Every structure is written in C-alpha cells, then in structure tokens.
Amino acid sequence: MKNKILSVLLVMSILAVPVLMSGCTDSSQTTNSDNNPTEESSSEQTLTLGEMWDIENIDPASAGTVICEKAAVTETLVAANPDFSLEPGLAITWEQVDNLTWRFDLRQDVSFHDGSMMTAEDVKFSLERTMNENPRVKSMSAIDSIRVIDDHTLEIKTTETNPILAGVMHYPDTSIISENSLDEDGNFVKPIGTGPYSFESFNEQTRVLTVVKNENWWGGSVGLDKMVLKGMPDPNTRAMAIENGELDFTVDVPYSETDRIDAIEGINVEKYSTPRVYKMDTNLEDEALSDVRVRKAISYAINRDDIVEHVLYNVGSPAAGPFLPSMTWANKDLKPYEQDLDKADELLSQAGWTDTDGDGIRDKDGTPLELELLTYAARPGLPPMSETIAAQLKDVGISVSPKVLEWGAISDKRESGNWDLVLAAYNIAMVPDPFYVLNNWYTSNGPDNTPGYSNAEVDALVEEAKYIRDLDKRYEKFNQVEEIVYEEQPKILIAYYGCAIVKKDSVKNYVFDPTAHDYRINAGMYIAQ
C-alpha cells in the first residue's frame, strides 16, 4: 500500500506547536495565496544565518544536516509532515512489495542544479555512495542492492526485512546528489543537488557557506536570492551577532537571554518543542559507574524539575524514557525519576560507597567517588545544566567536575576511554520509528552505545521487534526495551529539549519543522522591507 507503510508509525500530536511566540513580530506579511513573497518584499534577498556548529564538511553523505536541512541544497526521497507522517519528496510513491523488496517511483520533473534531469540512475549512484561513505546509513537501511527499472523507478532489495526503509529515506544524509558532484577520480568536489538553493562557495578558512536561489526548483518559487551560513558555536556570540545586525536568523541563544532579546525592537524569538532529549552517558568501564546502584543513585539525586525551571527557563520538560510522551510509540508508563536523596544515599551505601573521613565525599577502598562531567557549549542549556547536576550530586557525596570542551575533544576522550560522564542533546526522531534510537543507543553493537552497555534481553527484543510490521506488537516489544533501560540507567535522561529561533522581524514566512535535526530552512522564506 503506497506511502502508507510507515505513515501510521509516525503520528505525533504536538511537536510542531510553538510553546511561545512573542515579541515584536510584524504580522503584516505580504504574500500571495501560495505564501510566496510579492513585489513588496525587499529587493535585496540575502539572509545571513548564524549556524550553531562550525561548518567543516559540505558532503551530504556525512553532513546532510547542514547541506540538506539548513542550506536547502539537497533533498531526500521521502519528506515528512509536522506530525511525522511520511509524504512524497523526490519520490512520489513507495511500496513494500514483499519482505525484502521495495519499489520507489520518482518525480519526473526534477533537475539538478547543473541543469541535468534527475533519473533513477542518479538516485542509485547517490544512495550507493552514501552507504559506502556512511556506515550508519548502511546499517539503518540494510540495503543489499538497488536496481534501475526505468528512468524514474527503482527497486531496492534489503538484506533483511526492514519496515522502516522509507523512514530512513527521510534521513538527511540520504539526500540525493548528481554524479557530477564528483571529479573524474571520484573525489567529492561540491554538492550538486535538487533543492531550492544551489551551492555557490565554501570558504574552508572562515567556514562560511554561501548558497543561491535555484531558479528552476521543481517545488515552485524561492523567496531568497542568497543565504550566507556562518558557523558560530558559542551561543553568546550568536546572541551578540543578531543584536548588532550581523545576522538575520539564528538559533538557541542563551535561554536566560531570550526574553530580553525578544523585547528588542526588530527582533523576535519563537520557542518550540522538538524531538530531542538531554541525556548523560555513563562510562561503564568505570568501576563506580559499572554498578547499576550508583547509576540509579545519580538519577535519584538529580532534580529535573529544578533544572527545567531554573536552567532551561521552562524551554523543555523533565524526561522519563527516550521518547516524548506525545510520540505514538513511547512507553507512557514511565515517569521521570523524582529527586529522592534518601533513596540515592541508600543505593550508594549498598554499593559500598560511604564517607569514611567526613569530608563530604564518599569513598570506597580509599578511592573517593570523583567523576568528570564533559559537555559542550553550542547548545546553551548544557553548560549551566552540567554545573547544576554537579551541585546536586555533591549533596549525596559524589564529587563531579564539569568541563566544557569542543565536541571533537569530547569524542577523542570517549574514543580513548578517558571519560566518566558526557552530557549532550540528541535527536530522537531523525528516523521516525523507535528502532532508530533503541538500536543505536542500547544494543551491544549500537553505533551510539558509547557507555558500552550490553544486555542480552535488550539485544533480543530489539532484534525481534525490528522485523514486526504489526504496529501494536512492534511497539509492545520496544516498550519492554524502554522499561529495562529505565531500570538500568546506562544513559541518564534529564529533560526533553526546547528550541529558540531568533530572527529579525523582516524575515517572513519561516515555518518551523519539528522533523529536522535542529531547524530547516524553507523555500518560502523572504526578507521584507
């Protein structure tokens, strides 16, 4: 049944609803019936965007989030509605023919930015290249072979039953490029995609990416003539840049500053709920953290309500399981761990950690319970959250040293095994199905299982649920996985995420997309005088 295979997997009721839209927004937008800018919009349509990460890579096979979602240069076969139901992208229909076979029918009116028409051969080339370049995509898609039936029809064979293949084709790293994006030696040169904007330049020294309007976009008219994307990993720098007029659009300035910035004439702040969770990974190679009683004690020591109110300024909510309660597949029986210092004390004492010398820090066999908590600054809630967690854990006799590093340095420390705790914010619906998160985070060989967690029952349940196409039965198995990891806490979930979009009043027709990694630039945006 075309387009319906996964659509019912993906229903979410409230993600796209802004939790706050306030400030000096000019509501007198001038658009036509198709939400396109009219002649009253600005003659100079260049938008300068402050991106929250340094732009280090422009290859969509590994940097699809930037090139597909934020620069809008490339597009995927499958798109998604705000409620996470699937809709046509570059593919107009798809069908699971049998357990191992899928058929995708492509649009016939799509051209690449170099003027060549997109065909099934291009899509085959692009997907095969991505699987070679990106082990995560290869694992999630389980594609065995791709066969071109005709210019606009593909047959994809999987190595095993994979009910979520259409959802994987929404993942930005699967976005489609022309073979002309590579040189004659097969080296990537630039992204030649199909999106509303085409690649113009990338300065590797300044890491500034510039894209320009695609006059022949199959999807219709495009509002901006040009976008200039600047990497600005520091939230305070992003805030200062939009205040002084350097930027037209940015995201996630310090949450404590959002109300003040929103009150500035000519700037508005919009806050949205997003499918992302703040979580703290634990290194299970560490003697203390390998004990489930210590991990649960840490979870009981954290006051999630306090963090949401005083650190996130209510842009978010306390987390229980990995999925938002509004997600169809979430285990709604799970409740956030409530702070219980007595329970934390009991568990730590059972694990043999007591304060033998009266210095306020527990010890065991002469070793104090001291942990290092690593995080990064690009997401403004993380550094103050790490400080708050450290203070709360000290109340139960755990010494925690928070440290803010670049993400690359954190990755290096994790790779070497030289880490205790890592606090980060992770998307929970890049592929809109519970398998994506539960397999990647919690199975023994999961690509995001940085704690080194291994539970044979979890592995078996995820493997079994992976092939189930009946949704009730599929979700039942995944709910059991959520219950197990909730009890064992290899990843300590703190809060669900909120996103703050900051833009000039002159930026019109921005529509927040909750299915994107952080935010998505839409073709209808334009700048008005």
Q: 432 falls in which pLDDT band (50, 70, 90)?
A: confident
pLDDT tier at 412 (50, 70, 90 boundaries)? Answer: very high
- Residue 309 makes CB contacts below 8 A (sequence gap 6+) with none
Joined tokens for residue 218: 């199959």
Tell me, what's the pLDDT at 411? 95
| CATH topology agreement for domains 31-248+506-519 and 275-498 | no
Residue 25 has pLDDT above 90, yes or no: no
Q: Give tens-digit pLDDT for 306-324.
A: 999 999 988 889 999 999 8
The topology under which CATH files domain 31-248+506-519 is D-Maltodextrin-Binding Protein; domain 2 (3.40.190)
Q: Look at the domain 275-498 and name its fold.
A: Dipeptide-binding Protein; domain 3 (3.10.105)
What would the mean pLDDT of 442-458 be, rounded to a whole number?
A: 96
Closest CA to 71 of 83, 88, 59, 86: 59
Calculate ∠ Cα 420-426-432, nearest 5°: 140
115-133 pLDDT, tens digit each: 999 999 999 999 999 999 9
Domain extents for the chain? Answer: 31-248+506-519, 275-498
Q: Which pLDDT belongs to residue 27?
A: 33
Confidence bin at 73 (pLDDT 50/70/90): very high
Q: Which has the closest alpha carbon to 312: 262, 379, 250, 365?
A: 379
Compute the average pLDDT of residues 156-177. 95
- Mean residue pLDDT of the chain comes to 91
Structure tokens at 481: 């996985």
Does residue 300 have a pLDDT over 80? yes
Q: Which residue has the higher pLDDT, 82 or 424?
A: 424
Asked whether residue 29 carries a pLDDT value surpassing 60, the answer given is: no
Could you read off the pLDDT of 130-148 as tens digits, one per residue?
A: 999 999 899 899 999 999 9
E-assigned strand segments in 264-369: 267-282, 317-318, 363-364, 367-368
- Give pLDDT, residue 24: 36
43 pLDDT above the threshold of 90: no
Residues 6+ apart with CB under 8 A from 244: none
Closest to 15 in 3D by CA, of 91, 80, 98: 80
Write out pLDDT tens, residues 341-378.
999 999 999 999 999 999 999 999 999 999 999 999 98
Q: Residues with Cβ < 8 Å from 316, sequence gap 6 or more?
A: 278, 308, 381, 495, 496, 497, 498
**pLDDT above 90 (res 429):** no
Q: Whole-structure pTM over 0.75, yes or no?
A: yes
Residue 280: band (very low, low, confident or very high) from pLDDT cuts 50, 70, 90: very high
